[in-house]
Amino acid sequence: MRVDEAIAQLREAAEALAAEHPDLAADERAWLDTLDGLTDGLDLAEYLAERALHLEAMEEAAAERAKKLRARVARFVAEQDRLKGLILALVDAAGGKKVVRAAMTLSPRATPAKLIEVDATQTPPTLMRQPPPEPDKGAIKDALAKGGSVPGWALNNGGRTVAILTR
């Protein structure tokens, strides 16, 4: 039975029951027990509620899994950064120019300055995006790169990394 059919069937049964036994509506348990015996609507409601609870549990499990995967990604990125730092030190020790090997080329690269949030509550309203109000990091970075000052924000000096080309 489709849900819309069950709703119509339950509605019709409730209207008929109210017309035939108006006093029954005062006893909620008896009212629902009678409707439960006349239709499958309440069984369907229970089934749908069980499915909703199952989906809620699946949502929570997926969110927890996603949290663990984000942590795993962060570990991969941190290890990648650590290894690139070691590679850069080795390339620098060899003269600081690109190193061509059979399987790859290792090339030192400058990294752009990164935006550092010191205290976002001090962000001027002109550098906020709407809605919801949130700092416009692109505009803030541009303002700082042009030598301006933005309360609550700073730029680091950038750095160096190594590009690993495998073509």
Predicted confidence (pLDDT) per residue in 44-78, tens digit: 999 999 999 999 999 999 999 999 999 999 999 99
pLDDT the model gives residue 128: 93
Spell out the residues 6+ positions from residue 30 whose beta carbon is closer than 8 angstroms to its own.
Answer: 24
Distance CA(122)–CA(120), nearest Å, equals: 5
Kindly state the tokens that stand for 29. 């348990």
Residue 106 DSSP symbol: E
**Per-residue pLDDT at 53:** 97
pTM of structure:
0.59
pLDDT at 109: 94
- 135, with CB counted inside 10 A (0-12, 13-18, 19+), is buried
Query: pLDDT tier at 43 (50, 70, 90 boundaries)?
Result: very high
pLDDT of residue 123: 94
Contact yes or no for 115/155 (Cβ under 8 A): yes
Residue 167 pLDDT? 79
Residue 136 confidence (pLDDT) above 90: yes
Q: What average pLDDT does the segment 100-118 reach?
A: 94
Indicate the pairing of strand 105-111 with strand 159-165.
antiparallel
pLDDT at 131 over 90: no
Res 1 pLDDT > 80: no
